[in-house]
Amino acid sequence: MGGMGPGGTGEKAKNFKSAIKRLLKELKRYRILIIIALILAILSSMLSIFAPNKLSDLTDEIQKGLIGSMNLDAIKSIALFLTGLYLCSALFNFIQSICMTNVANRFANHLRRSISEKINRLPLKYFDKHQAGDTLSRVTNDIDMIAQSMNQSLAGLVSSVTLFIGTIIMMFFTNWIMAITAIIASFIGFTGMILILKNSQKYFIEKQTELGNLNGHIEEIYSGLNVVKAYNGKEASDREFEILNQKVCDSNRKSQFLSGLMQPIMAFIGNFGYVAVCIVGALLTMNGAISFGVIVAFITYVRLFTSPLSQIAQAMTQLQSTAAASERVFEFLDEEEMKDQKEITKVLNKEDVKGNIEFDNVVFKYDGNDKPTITNFTATAKSGQKIAIVGPTGAGKTTMVNLLMKFYDIDSGDIKIDGISAKELSRENIHDLFTMVLQDTWLFEGTVKENIIYNRENISDEEVKKVCEEVGLDHFIKTLPKGYNSILSENDSVSAGQRQLLTIARAMIDKSPFLILDEATSNVDTRTEELVQIAMDKLTKGRTSFIIAHRLSTIKNADLILVMKEGNIIEQGNHEELMKQNGAYAELYNSQFELM
């Protein structure tokens, strides 16, 4: 961890302070509720501070009664006053707790909403570098940690500080000798608390980081569980899990051990304070300097004095966890976003699109790569054409599609849609012009009909049924308990081919002028592929289509085939023309029929 290296402690301290400052800045929106809660916490503490003096008076009255006559009216008056005092203190605490719970929940809601909105503004390159599980951990574990700590520690810290300062004042007001005795007895608590806090912060940060790594591993393994089982990777994944889990355990053990030392230390200091107060108080009583009630009052003061130290220590421990979690959340919220689109005013309506696309010397390089993935890519797709993009793995086929969809920004060159540069159109506008069918299928928990209609309005049941019949899904849907109203979820035994057909049906029901098919038939069998191919011909009719395929037999009827290698076009033409050239395309095509 960063805190272990040279200068690491200073860097961690700086991060701790910046995280707390950022947290306080974000909390300004709830300042009224927080101020109310803090005022109530202060009032509750002040009421508790005044109680020991009344207890001293009550003790003295009882002592007088044991010696001579007992003043029951005075005892009753003091008892009623103390009862009212404690009831008011409890009421203030109750209202303060409601206010802080409200703030914590609303703030957590705000952070989750901010992260949800942030995800939509992040470029794909962020997700290329970060595990999905780590991002999920920031949304769940880290935000829960912030909310829990705020609810428990913020008002408690203010209340404890008030109680601590107020108790010192009241002790000196009552008897300065006894006050110094109690303070000296408890002073060691400060030293222990400071030393523990200084050494435990790095372990709280490490715990949150390692927890994110563990969640990332778990999400990765469970999303590919079939592959893990098929390749007998259980032992390897278990070993990796044990390593990550042990790191979480170690950092958690260290942080909890150090923070756990505070309670026994403060308990010892509190008990030591009681003994010191009793001894000094007894000596002063024997000399007639104080009454017995003052000793009782100071025993209560010692508890009030040492208890805030313990609560302050606990609150500071929680604040360290909060700072560590806040640092991860704010780090995510501060990630570089996609370029601002405020200056983009042009809008290309899908009803007015002719369907022409031009690639003009497009160059693109992924962050961290030495060489460009796409180099001087130039091609033209005319309205209604079916464009196939083929080539070996890593040639840049999917990258070109991502650039066309503006998932990534090109480094140089241009992509024009009907003569308008993609740079002059918003990402949402471009996404609205395209329909995509990817190799990786995605279904959400909902009915079959909802999965097909997804995010589209005014789609009738007849249209959904017609599309499913064309794709060849109608028979499968009829076998489901409630037909088109059957609920689909990740746990349902829907085959990969059926999932692919559902996503194809989703694309067919969309009326976008451009279509992208990225290995759309890779998960279906040969017979189903024939049915899908017929449906594809209907789907692509009247649309400018881009088809990425490794099964070259599926793109023989394409109007234009672009053969890519190392990010550029090395051959182009239709199937017959490219076969006559007997070049790279012919070699790829014939390799499908060679006996291995």
* pLDDT (tens digit per residue) in 512-568: 888 888 876 666 666 666 766 776 777 777 788 888 877 777 788 888 888 888 888
DSSP 486-553: -EE-TTS---HHHHHHHHHHHHHT---SEEEEESTTTTS-HHHHHHHHHHHHHHHTTSEEEEE-S-GG
How many whole angstroms separate alpha carbon 435 and alpha carbon 458?
18
More confident residue, 511 or 429: 429
Query: Do the beta carbons of residue 411 and residue 365 sit within 8 Å?
Result: yes
pLDDT of residue 8: 47
Residue type present at position 437: V
pLDDT of residue 358: 92
Query: Do the beta carbons of residue 306 and residue 189 sit within 8 Å?
Result: yes
How many whole angstroms separate alpha carbon 97 and alpha carbon 81?
24
How many whole angstroms separate alpha carbon 225 and alpha carbon 241?
14
Measure Cα distances from 523 to 394, 470, 501, 577, 579 in Å: 20, 18, 9, 29, 27
Phi, psi of 454 (to 5 degrees): -5, 115
Whether the per-residue pLDDT at 596 is higher than 50: the answer is no
With a CB cutoff of 8 Å and minimum separation 6, the contacts of 211 are 137, 141, 248
Measure Cα distances from 47 to 83, 93, 155, 394 in Å: 11, 11, 16, 72
Query: Do the beta carbons of residue 406 and residue 461 sit within 8 Å?
Result: no
The alpha carbon dihedral of 402, 408, 413, 417 has a sign of positive
With a CB cutoff of 8 Å and minimum separation 6, the contacts of 102 are 33
pLDDT of residue 594: 56
Confidence of residue 117 (pLDDT cuts 50, 70, 90): confident
Which residue carries 């950092």 as its tokens?
A: 251
Domain architecture of the chain: domains with CATH: 7-333 (1.20.1560.10), 357-591 (3.40.50.300)
How many whole angstroms separate alpha carbon 125 and alpha carbon 289?
76
Confidence of residue 3 (pLDDT cuts 50, 70, 90): very low
Whether the per-residue pLDDT at 391 is higher than 50: the answer is yes
Cα 77-81-85 angle, rounded to 5 deg: 170
Q: What is the pLDDT of residues 296-330, one digit of tens each?
A: 777 777 777 767 766 776 777 777 778 878 888 88
